[in-house]
Amino acid sequence: MKFGICYCYWSKNWEGTDYPQMIERARKCGFDGLEIFWGRTLTMPQKEIDEIVSASKANDVELYVSGGFGREEDLSQTDEAGRLAAVEKSKRLIEAWGKLGAHNFSGINYGAWCKFDRPIDKERSFEQAAKSLKEVGKCAADYDISWNMEVVNRFESYMLNTAEEARRLADMVDHPNINILLDIFHGMIEEDDLAEAVRIAGNKLGHYHMGTNNRRPPRPGFLPWQEVVNALKEINYDRCISFEPLVRTGGSVALEGGNVWRDMLPKDANNAYLDKLIIESLAFIKGLF
């Protein structure tokens, strides 16, 4: 099992230009992967790409890419020209991640994040997304990338709110590189049984996000951590558990999607505090295996 940490734990913003340093920091905190937002990956200068690749190798840290697509990238759109353009952009993104050495892309990558254009014709959205993802899957296979569709809560998408819905879309696509991302925070809102959600995703589970009910780093509380870990073991899940705490106010994480409206950290929280907190969190989850 690999353990990853999202860049936005250490930054107020979804994206930055200090990924090589954060790769090193991830390793120092005991993580095997750093998860970065997809936005800039298409336009990164070669020098930055080279530095990220060499930092990944030097620290034995995998790079994961994630995030939500907008209307332009929406693979479920009904406008055929727009849909084909979105498929083409997806292919260019996959090529960019190939250069970065990333093999895992997760998020709202089947529709558009926080856009609710066609909720009354969900079936049509599923059909369009499946058609697009069959094509995207071929390209993902060429670059050995697992394209993981994130199951999110009702306030972020109308398409995939439960593992069952994701499994249905994954089965419609039926491609080994098109998989599922479950996130315990979203699941806590939508699922009846978080362990059962893991079992439903089963062999299609390509990534797993962890955070508490209020998106802090995993820690003991009322989420059924042990049940979830037991289910992950039961399905022989051996990919990545990535921690996705959203605890920073004042930047794009808070203001553009994360909705962090109050201080989630002590006023005097510094880098050492953040590292200590996440190291303890990792030890807590590892202790359940």
CB-nearer residue toward Mn ion: 167 or 209: 209
Shortest separation between residue 53's beta carbon and Mn ion, angstroms? 25
Shortest separation between residue 186's beta carbon and Mn ion, angstroms? 7
User: CA angle at residue 226 from 225 to 232, to 5 degrees?
Assistant: 90
Give, as ranges, the residues between 234 and 273 that touch Mn ion (CB under 5 A). 244
191 among known catalytic residues: no
CB-nearer residue toward Mn ion: 49 or 188: 188
Shortest separation between residue 149's beta carbon and Mn ion, angstroms? 11
What is the greatest pairwise CA distance in the chain?
52
Please check whether residue 284 is in contact with residue 219, taking contact to mean a CB–CB distance below 8 angstroms: yes
Q: Report which of 29, 39, 258, 264 is spatially closest to residue 153, judged by C-alpha positions.
A: 258
In the three-class reduction of DSSP (H, G, I as helix; E, B as strand; rest coil), residue 2 is classed as strand
Shortest separation between residue 105's beta carbon and Mn ion, angstroms? 13
Taking CB under 5 A as the criterion, the residue among 115, 209, 216, 248 binding Mn ion is 209
Please check whether residue 208 is in contact with residue 202, taking contact to mean a CB–CB distance below 8 angstroms: no
CB-nearer residue toward Mn ion: 165 or 183: 183
Q: Active-site residue among 150, 156, 165, 191?
A: 150
Shortest separation between residue 230's beta carbon and Mn ion, angstroms? 21
**Residue 209: which residues within 8 A CB-CB, separation 6 or more?**
106, 150, 181, 182, 183, 184, 185, 241, 242, 243, 244
**Which structure tokens are listed for 77?**
């759109």
* Dihedral in degrees, nearest 10, Cα atoms 186, 154, 64, 230: 30
CB-nearer residue toward Mn ion: 25 or 209: 209
Residue 183 lies near Mn ion (rule: CB under 5 A): yes
Shortest separation between residue 205's beta carbon and Mn ion, angstroms? 13
Spell 60-70 as b/e; 16+ CB within 10 A means b.
ebbbbbbbbbe
CB-nearer residue toward Mn ion: 59 or 157: 157
Q: Quote the CA–CA distance of 237 and 244 in Å, as a whole number.
A: 19
Q: Quote the CA–CA distance of 48 and 50 in Å, as a whole number.
A: 5
Binding segment for Mn ion (CB under 5 A), chosen from 131-139, 179-187, 189-197, 261-269, is 179-187
**Residue 211: which residues within 8 A CB-CB, separation 6 or more?**
183, 184, 185, 217, 218, 243, 244, 245, 246
Q: Report which of 284, 288, 289 is spatially closest to residue 30, judged by C-alpha positions.
A: 284
Binding segment for Mn ion (CB under 5 A), chosen from 110-118, 187-195, 205-213, 262-270, is 205-213
234 among known catalytic residues: no
CB-nearer residue toward Mn ion: 148 or 177: 148
Q: Which residues bind Mn ion (CB under 5 A)?
A: 183, 209, 244
Active site residues: 150, 244
